[in-house]
Amino acid sequence: MNIQITVKNVELTDAIRSYVEKKVSKVKKYFDQVVDVHVVLDVQKNVHMAEILVNAKGVFLKGIEKSEDLYASIDLAIDKIERQLVKYKEKLKSKKLIDKKFEVPLKLDVYESESFDDKPVSIITKEIPVKPMDIEEAVMQMDLLNKNFFVFRNAKNSEVNVVYRRDDGNIGLIQP
């Protein structure tokens, strides 16, 4: 498991580093396929924020918590990640998908529209692993990430699909 720690407006001491590593290593007992963990610690005025991003073999989880104590923020964010992992693992067990390990990377290029002010075009490239899943699992993954859309490979027809949250609260599906 690869752990990256980024700090903003605070000094990364050995005590903070060891505390983060100790807490993040607990995540491994819930889901043994955790690959990368990125921890961002930020302090602004009296608010301490901990943001934890977990990549568990194509499953991306995010936990953000704020409090008046940095260690408490880390604990709360880890608790949120653990709840998400348990929920996801139970969902996989109920669907008997825990043994599927097939992943295909999908490269997305996002282009921002050109403005009339002759500013340069901003191009953002993001490479994400796309594993085959059914629509219900994709909706659950979108909810876990707190995103408005989620790109996935449909397990039924191996096509790249997109699920998205509509303005009326319902879920939409885009198929090629």
What are the tens digits of pLDDT across the range 21-56? 888 888 777 766 667 888 899 898 888 999 988 887
**With bands split at pLDDT 50, 70 and 90, how would you rate the model's confidence at 102?**
very low
**92 or 159, which is more confident:** 159
**91 or 37, which is more confident:** 37
Domain boundaries, the chain: 2-95, 104-174
Q: Strand 171-174 to strand 160-165: parallel, antiparallel, or no bridges (unpaired)?
A: antiparallel
Q: Is the pLDDT of residue 68 over 60?
A: yes
* pLDDT (0 to 100) of residue 112: 46
Fold (CATH) for 104-174:
SHC Adaptor Protein (3.30.505)
* pLDDT (0 to 100) of residue 105: 55
* Rounded mean pLDDT, 125-143: 79
Single-letter code of the amino acid located at 14: D
Q: Is the pLDDT of residue 130 over 80?
A: no
**With bands split at pLDDT 50, 70 and 90, how would you rate the model's confidence at 116?**
very low
Q: How far apart are CA 174 and CA 176, in angstroms?
A: 7
**Average pLDDT value over all residues in the chain:** 78
Against a cut of 0.75, is the pTM above it?
no
* pLDDT (0 to 100) of residue 100: 47
* pLDDT (0 to 100) of residue 111: 47
Q: Is the pLDDT of residue 117 over 60?
A: no
* pLDDT (0 to 100) of residue 101: 46
**With bands split at pLDDT 50, 70 and 90, how would you rate the model's confidence at 137?**
confident
Q: How far apart are CA 128 and CA 148, in angstroms?
A: 16
Is CATH 3.40.1830.10 what the domain over 2-95 is classified as, yes or no? no
